[in-house]
Structure 1
Amino acid sequence: MGALSRGLGGAPIDVPPAVWDLPFPLHPAGLEIDAPGPRTPAASHRCNDEMHATRALLLLGLGLLNGAAALRVRSDGTVEEPVAGGSKTIIVELAKGSNVESVKRKLQEQSAGTTVLKTFESDVFTGLSVETTDNNLESLEALGEAVKAWPMRLVDIPSPERGKTFSSDAAAKEYSLHNYTGVDKVHQAGVYGKGVVVAVVDTGIDYTHPALGAGFGAGHKVVGGYDLVGNGNYPDTPRQPDDDPKDQDGHGTHVAGIIAGKTDRFTGVAPEATLRAYKVFGGGGGGTEEDVLIEAFLMAYKDGVDIITASIGGFVGWSDSAWAVVASRIVDSGIIVTISASNFGVFGPFVASSGSSGKNVIAVASSLASDLSADPFNATFTLNGNTNVSTLAYVPSNKAWNISGMKIVPTSLNTSIADDACQPLPSGTPSLNGSVALVRRGGCDYAVKQANVEALGAKHLLVYNNDDIWVAPYSRGRSSELALIEAKAGKAIVETIAAGGSVVVDFSQKVSHKVGVFNSVGGIPSDFTSWGPLFDLQIKPDVTAPGGDILSTYPDNQWMVLSGTSMACPYVAGVAALYISAYGGRKAHGPSFGREMFQRIVSSGGALPWANDNPFRTYKPVDDKGFFAPVAQVGTGMINAAKVLYSSTRLTFDSFALNDTANFRPQHEIAITNSGKEPVEYSFQLQPTAGIEMFQPYNQFGARNALFKGLLSLEPISLVPRVSMPDPVTVAPGETRNVSFTFAPPTGPGVNASNMPLYSGKVLVTGDNGDSLSVPYLGLAFSLAGEIKNMWRKGSPQFLRRTQQVWTFDLSPTAPGYPFVSMSIEYGSRQVRWDVYESGWTEDRWSYPPVVGENGYVGSATSYANPRVGQVFDPATMQENNTFAFPVEGIVRDTGTIGNYQFWWLGALANGSQIPSGKYRMRFAALRPFVDPKDSASWSVWDLPEITIERAKRNNTRS
């Protein structure tokens, strides 16, 4: 690929100065959900592998996989398995014009085990959510007014780990974030988001923060909103909605500051935009339910907002969940919706999020920040009678320094030495007592350098960087104070002293600002950012924004540095607000505006380099190996606000989802509109990104974590499709021309279908007026159904505890007489079924969907809704009717850490009745990808023997 440009849209950029004085105070707080304890942004990158994995899992929020139990992370960093895969709470869409109250009454009259939780009446979505023990998805979809039923999921945002915070007089920002994204150019044009209303669906907003307007209601920055759940411990306690959406957590306040925060020393993306807060999380940190999110989105829609942003989501991977469908329809009404892509990147491909999977919903990935912050100190350079005082940057290993008037003494005047002070200093070296020692980074641990300068009396050691990644220095067991300064600063100090001059430091002044440090790895993809595509091979994520080490507002007049796609998502919402401020929104452009803005934002993305590791954790530069980051990781790349607002070219397209080889879609089209004043000639070019081979083979012991490789195991390869490109086309002012592209999958000796290769890239559309935009493509160079013939993971499904073929459904904890089933699948399945048939039923009688009373079908099994690994049902503490019914839908793949499900069938069928004694045949099956469910061969069926149920032996009492 050649050298990769980090500039906007591929254009080179000027690297900002290594050190500059920022006109505001700053004291960063630490990363959101990382390792325990406060830390500075640089120091936070010292986390070990286990801590880093925890961060990757938690930064955004851990979602329910299929409605029954939210993912939790234990104190040791491991993930608590979701053990149930279904939901007894279901969302049902009704046909437009349905009488919702009438359906509600009918349901509750006909089904004693069904309770209506919430109703929705909107031109976007009409329906209700129910809790039921005697209905399942299929029976509810059979209602005359029903259109579709979905399992209701729980979506969790864990509270950010509270790091070190600082008061309002330390308000600051990482200055060049806006330089890297083109927002600075928009601000220079005087566009700041005025007149635009952004809905923040999150934990609420601390609207008392001075940077967020210090008030609530008309005339303030936060003009309104609603608390949909209250300040209690929802969802563990009932919802208690009220009119005050004040943040109890901090997450939503941080998001709000990224969008619209403003002080003399801090500027959000759209600081003149107004906000509405929709609080969907309580104070207990237990997550929120999908019907609450739907209600919040519909409320924001009714309130007339221009943009809805939600840094919320969990591992789902399907575009047709209830929340995703509602979000997509709101986009179709003309409102822009941005949702974070989630933070499961450590698991590799196919870990896409929930709401962001919706069509034309902008799923936002994260990159590392382009700049980091550091403490300032003054250095007085004296040479040949001339004196100059400069402000330099340093990051201490521990606390801030408080010394002054001390000279710097370098251990070597050779700034190229690779192992400075890695050996005891030569005899005759002057004492370092009362001086600040200066050594070059590299060659040995910091502790070795400290020991060698301490031997000569040094109590303070400055290490100047060797062009490695800027990371806070770290050592243990040494008495001297340690700090890192930049390579440029160190070299300037050495050169001054080598020429006969001197440098004296002053760390004693209490300053109200920080200085900025250029981040040499800024702009690379964050390793936590979730990869797509969706399980139906639609392209996600869509675009990238800065999400690593982002400073923003925090409750109680504080500021904090957090990381996650949660931080990247509101940045894109802010860019959308800038556009609407300049050109108007859906009121000016109609309902197509939401989709048009999706296309405008996505097409602005600039390529990012390949990276599958965190350089701060490995302490080494990123080896991009000459490849661009895949579309499955970053979408089209870094958002470019200047292109979004000022390109006179508009592209109309659906992202080029090429599918797999068995379902290949070769033909794709782009409509090019020239809204400029002169004709423009457009040319076309393919920009491939890194291909990957996803398949994870079994190791020598016959084991593997998952079907697909994790992030650290992925290696970039060249996988380029064959594409028939159109000739250059000239488009007159005001004209729209369509151009077509014909793709063929990559072939050749390097393409091995059994390795499951994924390829992606972009089609670049370049005008002779300077506009350069792009459209993403992605495909699989193999057949999913052909390679995944068996959905079950090795050793799955299986009966736990007992494998007997006679079940009594005795619920006593000492002798449980019911089946425990453990299950995990290699790839996402639209449906997993547990069906019960009459004795003698055979697979050749399969029909879909099965109907009770026909073809030997008895009914669907149910499962206790809250099973726990290693436990059994206990009638004294558990409710027998706390169940959900099969089938379950939208099951995600097993990642090796997430995706193992457990089901306890206590004897009830989906209609609420108890299965009678007798002989039966069970069918436990998962639907394979891209197949017809009516065909028996489309299912991976667990081969089960005939069973006998003897109800007479049931005993539910304690023994």
Structure 2
Amino acid sequence: MLNLLALVLIFSTFGFSVNANGGTQTQVTELPLAEVFGELELSSKRPTSVIVELEAESIVEAKHVGKNQTKASLKSERGKVISELKKAVKTADVNREYDYVFSGFSVELPANEIIKLAAIPGVKAVYPNVHYTADVVSAKEVTAEAFSPAMLKSAPFIGANEAWETGFTGEGVTVAVIDTGVDYTHSDLAHAFGDYKGYDFVDDDNDPQEGAGQYHGTHVSGTVAANGSIKGVAPEARLLGYRVLGPNGGSTEDVVAGIELAVQDGADVMNLSLGNTLNNPDWATSIALDWAMAEGVVAVTSNGNAGPNNWTVGSPGTSREAISVGATQLPYDSYSSVLTTGDVGYASASVMGYPSPEKLLELNGSNELVDVGLAAEADFEGKDVAGKIALISRGGFAFVDKVANAKAKGAVGVVLYNNPGATADIPVVPGLALPTIKLSIADGQKILSEYDAGNTVATFAVEFDKVVGESMASFSSRGPVTFTWMIKPDVSAPGVDIVSTFPGEGYASLQGTSMAAPHVAGAAALLLQKNPNWGTEDVKAALMNTAADVIDPTKNEVYAHNSQGAGSIRVVDALNTNTLVAPGSHSFGKFVKDSGKQVEKQSFEIKNLSNKRKTYSFDVVFAGDPAGIKVSTSNNLKVNAGKSQQVNFNVQVDTSKLEPGYYEGTIVVSDGTQTFDVPTILFVGEPDYPRVTGAFMGKQDEVQYYVGSYLPGGAEVLEYYLFEFNGGIGPIIGALGTFENAPAPFHEFLWDGSVNGEDIAPGDYVLGVYVEQAGVTEYKAYLVTKE
């Protein structure tokens, strides 16, 4: 079964009533249940791994809420719950146990026994043991012959080299890399490791050496602290490696264990370049990170690679406290392009990516096209593309792999056209293995028609156009976060074509928010070297307050806060700041009154780090200057040297004057010579988060299937349709069901496996889900498998 649902089940109590003989109603005593979150098939007997959170606070949480807690007392409380669980579920198999930043344990049991687990006294919540992967969009190893230290452009771009010149190199600061392990024998990394190197939670031993075929953690570690042929952002920082991801990724139980051990091992900073697609702040990993931050460890996470749409940020980037990082692309040269086949032109032709400007310009002239479909290995059989141009369709698998396959077969260039089933344009993907021209859906169909008619010679004219400034990577996930309505990411950093260390004395160019996060982790190390007494909120504020606006080159305007956060980090400005404004962003939350005015209060803290008294002024601007939003705060605030002060402000929202949705704004703080921008956001009415965020299909028994969807806000109208799958959305087969007033958070029904009286054969299909709710309609499609 292919299950794409990310649903949240919240059981506060469980109760029911029955009609006894004679018609009188008997009320049965309610049974309290813990909250149950996640992708859990509660009717299945399949063994399922979950994370259990206990009501007893972790050691760190207890300390911060003024309670006494010890490992021994927690072990006792945990033991009671585990004992009761094994009585109720004989096959329950407990794996990892937690007590430091998370209180609980991981356990495998049949899914249909999870309700028994949730009913045990002392259990606060049950979370899925979700799958985490390393956030990489593409990877390309750089040969020793081709490698040059000049390839390392990202650290100098954010100002790391200027920080080194002033003596800040990360010396004395320990950074934990929670990832796929690390090749600590690499000559550029060996200096950063002592006798104790970390821990391997995949193989459960004291050697976090990266596994065969893995490279992600080594690359991330190099961006943080390489000091050899290339230099990381903090080249004299100490590293600790925690291997929580194996060749096929990892799971919550190991990630939480890695966070716990890193905090206990004395890490000052931790980097988690990993994630999933769950946009929720309350998963176990995010909770562990929040308490790690409270304990004084700066936690940095990647925001995810599911962009560019809003609401695509995934855990642990959704953490309330950790620094979530989006990915930018460094400034690059832009080229114009013209493509013709014979007398036929293609207006949408534009440069998608290339390995170097020289290789791109070598494309100019005429060359033969060879249609290789999706460009899978089998698509090249019987076709000669050596020295020719591969004509490739979008779909099936990653762009970089398509182009790499073409290069492996000897092609010198690619024309890649959009698939008719696609819902978005093909993005620019810098660093592709071959010079690649992209086409729209319409032009793709036109060039195929010309090709079939024998018009197979393509002529290219590519010219330099302009330099494009730093921009957000199209793949970088966007906020906001559901339930907390927070802006994410917090900041951004370079994440495209990042050259760093590769296992076995190598180097590689990778891209993804995984590559952006370690720039921020390294910057945090530099800040802590200069300011060893700073708290985590100070480090976060310094990076956010001094970040530079990223400009959308297609619109020539600043990207939205939910794309870039506070902006792209600038190390020297963060090191030299004389003011800290924390928190570095604000959410006023939801305003849901149907009419009239609603007022909410907020506050932030200003720290004057200078040796002079400062006077601060404030201005709040919301995008578009909407008439229904008014913010009041102090006009002037005097803060003595080395002191801090709270700033209170109110927001008044007249929902009758505003359309539903969210409104981004900026709180501009000025000390007369410098300004500091604090992103803010508020929501009016029902936020525009997706009405349907997942769908699923699975076999219930020999004749029935369960089908359903995740509906965060419920649905007034809900319809399911089945389509053929042909690499995209194929012809419609028919409707599976129509429903009204489906409640949140999920909907499920039984299907007999037929449409219009005809049985549907097992295989892959597209499940279309149509939703109407609160005046908003939405249609989404999901790949599912009928067993």
TM-score, with normalisation over the residues of structure 1? 0.54
- 2:668 is matched with 764
1:520 partner SS: strand
Q: Distance in 1 between matches of 2:167 and 2:523?
A: 14
Matched, 1:530 2:477: yes
Specify the alignment match of 1:338 in structure 2. Answer: 300
Displacement after TM superposition at 1:365 (Å): 0.7
Matches within 5 A, 1:848-867: none
Q: Who is 2:601 aligned against? A: 667
Matched, 1:752 2:659: yes
Q: Which structure would you say has the larger Rg?
A: 1
Does residue 821 of structure 1 match 2:786? no
**CA pair 397-354 structure 1, distance change in 2 beyond 3 A:** same
Q: Which residue of 1 aligns with 2:50?
A: 90
Structure 2 CA distance for aligned equivalents of residues 373 and 209 of structure 1? 35
CA–CA separation in structure 1 for the residues paired with 2:290 and 2:429? 41
Question: Aligned to 2:134, what secondary structure does the other structure show?
Answer: coil
**Inter-partner Cα distance in structure 2 for 1:63 and 1:187:** 46
Residues 862 and 134 of structure 1: CA distance in aligned 2, closer, same or farther (over 3 Å): farther
Corresponding residue of 2:445: none
Counterpart of 2:261 in 1: which secondary structure?
helix
* 8 Å contact from structure 1 (residues 660, 779) kept in 2: yes
Tell me if the contact between 2:81 and 2:121 (Cα under 8 Å) persists in the aligned partners: no
Task: State the alpha-carbon separation in 1 of the partners of residues 644 and 508 from structure 2.
Answer: 47
Change (3 A) 1:718 1:559: farther
Whether 1:153 aligns to 2:137 is no
1:46-85 → structure 2 map (5 Å cutoff): 65=6
What SS does the corresponding residue of 1:357 show, helix, strand or coil? coil
| Shift in alpha-carbon separation, 1:903–1:580, aligned structure 2, 3 A | farther
Give the Cα–Cα distance (whole angstroms) in 2 for the partners of residues 798 and 282 of structure 1: 27
Is 1:581 aligned to residue 543 of structure 2?
no
Report the counterpart of residue 555 of structure 2 in structure 1: 624
Other structure's SS at 1:669 match: strand
CA distance in 2, matches of 1:895, 1:571: 38
Residues 798 and 343 of structure 1: CA distance in aligned 2, closer, same or farther (over 3 Å): closer
| Alignment correspondent of 1:263 | 228
Instruction: Provide the secondary structure at the position in 2 that maps to 1:112.
Output: coil
Provide the rounded CA distance (Å) in 2 between the counterparts of 1:127 and 1:564: 32
User: 1:642–1:214: structure 2 CA closer, same or farther, 3 Å change rule?
Assistant: closer
More strand by share: 2
- 1:888 aligns with none
Quick check: 2:334–2:464 contact (8 Å CA) kept in 1? no
Q: 1:535 to 1:684 in 2, by over 3 A?
A: same
Q: 1:177 to 1:215 in 2, by over 3 A?
A: closer
Q: Residue deviations 1:797-852, cap 9 Å, x none?
A: 99999xxxxxxx8x44xxx2x442232437699xxxxxxxxxxxxx99x9999xxx
Q: Is the 8 A contact 1:671 1:739 kept in 2?
A: yes
Which residue of structure 2 lines up, in the alignment, with residue 245 of structure 1?
209
Q: What is the CA deviation profile of residues 366-391 of structure 1, one whole-angstrom value per residue up to 9, with x for unaligned ones?
A: 111135899xxxxxxxxxxxxxxxxx
Shift of 1:745: 4.3
Relative to 1, partners in 2 of residues 1:307 and 1:108: Cα closer, same or farther, differing over 3 Å? same
Instruction: Give a deviation string over 1:587-620, Cα, whole Å, max 9, x none.
Output: x45xxx12332233222222222x3xxxxxxxxx
Match of 2:182 in 1: 205
Structure 2 SS opposite 1:575: helix
State the one-letter code of the partner of 1:896.
K
**In structure 2, how many angstroms separate the alpha carbons of the residues matched to 1:144 and 1:862?**
32
Does the CA-based 8 Å contact 2:549-2:558 persist in structure 1? yes
CA distance in 1, matches of 2:40, 2:118: 22
Q: Aligned-pair distance for 1:652?
A: 2.9
Query: What residue number does 1:776 align with?
Result: 679
Counterpart in the other structure of 2:578: 648
Deviates more, 1:635-644 or 1:661-670: 661-670
SS in 1 for 2:197: strand
Residue type of the alignment partner of 2:480 = P
- Counterpart CA distance in 1 for 2:356 and 2:577 is 40
Partner in structure 2 of residue 896 of structure 1: 780
Unaligned runs of 5+ in 1: 1-61, 69-81, 231-239, 375-392, 402-419, 423-444, 446-467, 488-518, 612-621, 692-716, 802-808, 830-842, 850-859, 864-868, 874-892, 905-959
Counterpart of 1:279 in structure 2 is 243
1:541 CA displacement:
1.4
**Superposed CA offset, 1:661-684 (max 9, x none):** 217663222221212111122222
Alpha-carbon offset, residue 130 of structure 1: 1.2
> Kindly, what percent of the aligned residue pairs are identical?
24
In structure 2, which of residues 617, 620, 628 is the aligned counterpart of residue 686 of structure 1? 620
1:601 aligns with 2:543: yes
Change (3 A) 1:901 1:187: same
Equivalent residue, structure 2, for 1:237: none
The residue aligned with 2:15 is none
- By how many angstroms is 1:281 displaced? 1.8
The residue type equivalent to 1:255 in the other structure is V
Residue 669 (structure 2) pairs with residue 722 (structure 1): no
Counterpart of 1:600, as a letter, is A
Name the SS of the counterpart of 1:267 in structure 2: coil
Q: Is the 8 A contact 1:792 1:824 kept in 2?
A: yes
- Kindly provide the CA deviation profile for residues 892-920 of structure 1, in whole angstroms up to 9, marking residues without a partner as x: x998356x78999xxxxxxxxxxxxxxxx
Structure 1 residues 532 and 274, CA gap change in structure 2 (3 angstroms): same
Give the conservation status (yes or no) of the 8 Å contact 1:199–1:276.
yes
**How far apart are residue 170 of structure 1 and its match?**
2.3
Alpha-carbon offset, residue 791 of structure 1: 5.4
* CA deviations over 1:400-443 (Å, ceiling 9, x no partner): 99xxxxxxxxxxxxxxxxxx999xxxxxxxxxxxxxxxxxxxxx
| C-alpha spacing 1:740/1:137, structure 2 compared with 1 (3 Å) | farther
Summarize the alignment of residues 31-42 of structure 1 with structure 2, pairs less than 5 Å apart. none
Structure 1 residues 112, 848: closer, same or farther in 2, change over 3 A?
farther
Shift of 1:109: 2.9
Displacement of 1:659 in angstroms is: 2.0
| Greater RCO structure (CA 8 Å; 6+ sep) | 1
Q: 2:647 aligns with which of 720, 724, 739?
A: 739
Residues 64 and 731 of structure 1, relative CA distance in 2, 3 Å threshold? same
Question: Retained in 2: the 8 A contact 1:67–1:89?
Answer: no
- Deviation track 1:127-155 (CA, whole Å, cap 9, x = no partner) reads 11111226655543432222222222111
User: Counterpart in 1 of 2:147?
Assistant: 170
RMSD: 4.7
1:339 Cα deviation after fit: 0.5
1:227 maps to amino acid: D
> C-alpha distance in 2, partners of 1:272/1:477?
56
Shift of residue 725 of structure 1? 4.1
Q: Is the 8 A contact 1:198 1:275 kept in 2?
A: yes
8 Å CA contact 2:586–2:678 kept in 1: the answer is yes
CA contact (8 A) 1:720 1:759 kept: no
Question: Partners of 1:724 and 1:67 in 2: how far apart?
Answer: 37
Q: Does 1:225 align with 2:189?
A: no
Of 298, 318, 329, which aligns to 2:260?
298
Q: Paired residue for 2:103?
A: 126
The alignment of Structure 1 onto Structure 2 pairs a total of residues equal to 587
Contact 1:208/1:216, CA 8 A, preserved across alignment? no
Note the C-alpha offset of 1:396. Answer: 2.2
Once residues 206 and 605 of structure 2 are traced to their aligned partners in structure 1, the CA distance between those partners, rounded to angstroms, is 47
Contact 2:155–2:233 (CA under 8 A) maintained in structure 1: yes
Provide closer, same or farther for how the CA distance between residues 302 and 143 of structure 1 changes in structure 2, counting only shifts above 3 A.
same
CA distance in 2, matches of 1:195, 1:269: 14
Structure 1 position 581, deviation (Å): 1.4
* Aligned counterparts of 1:183 and 1:895: Cα–Cα separation in 2: 46
Partner AA of 2:680 in structure 1: Y
SS in 2 for 1:636: coil
SS at match of 2:276: coil
Partner of 1:71: none
| 1:114 matched residue in structure 2 | 92
Q: Could you say what secondary structure the match of 1:677 adopts?
A: coil
| Structure-2 change in CA distance of 1:636 and 1:115 (3 Å) | same
